[in-house]
Copies of this chain bind each other. A is one copy, B any other.
Amino acid sequence: MIAFKHSFKNDYSEMAHPRILQALFAVGNKQFEGYGLDEYSAEAAKLIGDKINAPSADVHFISGGTQANLVVISSILRPHEAVIAPESGHIFVHETGAIEATGHKICTREGHNGKLCAADIESVVLEHSDEHMVKPRIVYISLSTEGGTVYSKAELSSVSEYCRRKGLYLYIDGARLGAAINSPSCDLTYSDVAGFVDVFFIGGTKIGALFGEAIVICNDDLKEDFRFLLKQRGALLAKGAAIGVQFRTLLTDGLFDELALYSNAMSKRLADGIRSLGYTFLYPVETNIIIPVFPAGIADGLHKLYGFHDWKRFGDMTAVRLVSSWATPENMVDEFIADLSTMS
């Protein structure tokens, strides 16, 4: 029941790209093995291995991002080990304590633009010196971040190098990995990411799938028994083939990147329009999430016409979070700019 002209709340407000639904239809009554052991999932995993240039990586399909985060992290850590994350990290803020519910503490640093650098991580490591404190063991970062920013190759390389030197695992929440890699600000390739991390996941839900994320385990030491963990946390879908089919489709004929480029383009168009009216942004405009800062009155006015979330308030100013998706209509972007222009 969306009452306004259009919602820029998030990139999961529309069902799924038609080619994905068509692919599910096309299976018909064909029988497949349960729990992800089907041929569609195998083929999708192969396509991912090719795309990231890591054919020996293990790929597991799962229904959502919180689930991916909690299964991956709890599969790796011993009880006293902890996660290092940025303060704005989804696992720290918006997953209802999912990681803690598996028994682990999250140690945070503010970072910059939603990103951690090696020095941030090191400051956590140095603070944890003995058995009266948890032992940091895995670093969680998002690409792109909650605020839509991306790591450069130099940035990610530095984080990765620090982690390896210190025996920390590096894990990327890639719920919006497509948007990141297809950002003009990001010089990383999929293959670079796979090379820098121990585990990451490639988001399907937010790029245009009905649901589904692909967990990719690059580090051999972390592969053992992962399906046990999936099953235990309720993450092994009986009809796992339903995710396999979707990822196979996303990875065929470039659909995955095409959808990412489109949503990024809509956000850029929106950002350009907003900037042209004299507004600034909280973070660099890099992907399909942008955070312009408006006078509170203007933000309130826009709320009557469009769906979106406030990100932060500073005195009389409100930073708001506008998200585009594979389905965002160009004319709604233009209408938003026009309405903003009228109010300004």
Contacts and interface: CB of A to CB of B under 8 A. Distances in A.
A11 to B, nearest CB: 9
Contacts of A16: 24, 239, 242
Contact of A13 (B25, B32, B65): B32
Interface stretch (A138-146, A150-158, A222-230, A279-287): A222-230
A132 B36 CA distance: 13
Interface in A97-115: 97-98, 100-105
A1 B38 contact: yes
B75 A75 contact: no
**Most B Cβ at <10 Å: residue of A95, A104, A234:** A234
A14 interface: yes
Nearest to A206: B238
A79 B34 contact: no
A39 interface: yes
Contact of A64 (B12, B80, B228, B237): B237
Contact of A232 (B63, B96, B307): B96
A98 B103 CA distance: 9
B229 A80 contact: yes
Given A131-B230, A234-B67, A239 B98 contact: no
Copy count, this protein chain:
4
Nearest to A66: B234
Interface string A210-234: 1100000000000001011111111
B131 A234 contact: no
7 tightest A-B CB contacts, nearest first: A67-B234, A80-B228, A97-B105, A131-B227, A96-B232, A12-B238, A97-B134
13 contacts: A21-B21, A21-B25, A63-B64, A63-B237, A70-B233, A80-B97, A80-B101, A80-B225, A80-B229, A95-B231, A96-B134, A98-B233, A102-B103
Interface of A: 1-2, 6-7, 9-10, 12-16, 18, 21, 24-25, 27-35, 38-39, 63-71, 74-75, 78-80, 82, 93-98, 100-105, 131-135, 205-206, 210-211, 225, 227-239, 241-242, 245, 307, 327, 329
